[in-house]
Amino acid sequence: MKTIPIIVNIAPMKKYDEIWAADSAAIREFFNEHPGDVSVISLPDKVIGAMRLPQTRVVIEGDNAEVLYQQFFRKFMKAGG
């Protein structure tokens, strides 16, 4: 019996791990409406002089990570959160 190797090209899953200067509540609200494998982590505000910027770490993983990230990016870049 002859063995034939089977080559399967499985693309690695995408993972996005970024820090955004956006309110974590607004980001959570977006992902409640667009469910997926997402972590939203509130971080301390970044202080630049007298200005305080919210900092939120967003981790998007899974089979639909790329689609979720594109929707999230368009929403928060277009509308500013």
Q: Contact 71/51 with Cβ under 8 angstroms?
A: no
Task: Select the more confidently predicted residue: 78 or 17.
Answer: 17
pLDDT of residue 71: 93
| Cα 45 to Cα 47: distance, rounded to the nearest angstrom | 6
Residue 4 inside a domain? The answer is no
The domain containing residue 66 runs over which residues? Answer: 52-81
Q: Which residue in this structure is represented by tokens 């063995």?
A: 3
Residue 37 inside a domain? The answer is no
Q: Give me the number of domains the chain comprises.
A: 1
Return the number of other C-beta atoms located less than 10 Å from residue 11's C-beta: 5
| Cα 27 to Cα 20: distance, rounded to the nearest angstrom | 9
Is 50 exceeded by the pLDDT of residue 3? Answer: yes
Residue 59 inside a domain? The answer is yes
Tell me the whole-structure pTM to 2 decimals. 0.76
Residue 76 inside a domain? The answer is yes
3-12, 52-61, 72-81: lowest mean pLDDT where?
A: 3-12
pLDDT tens digits, 28-64? 999 999 989 999 999 999 999 999 999 999 999 998 9
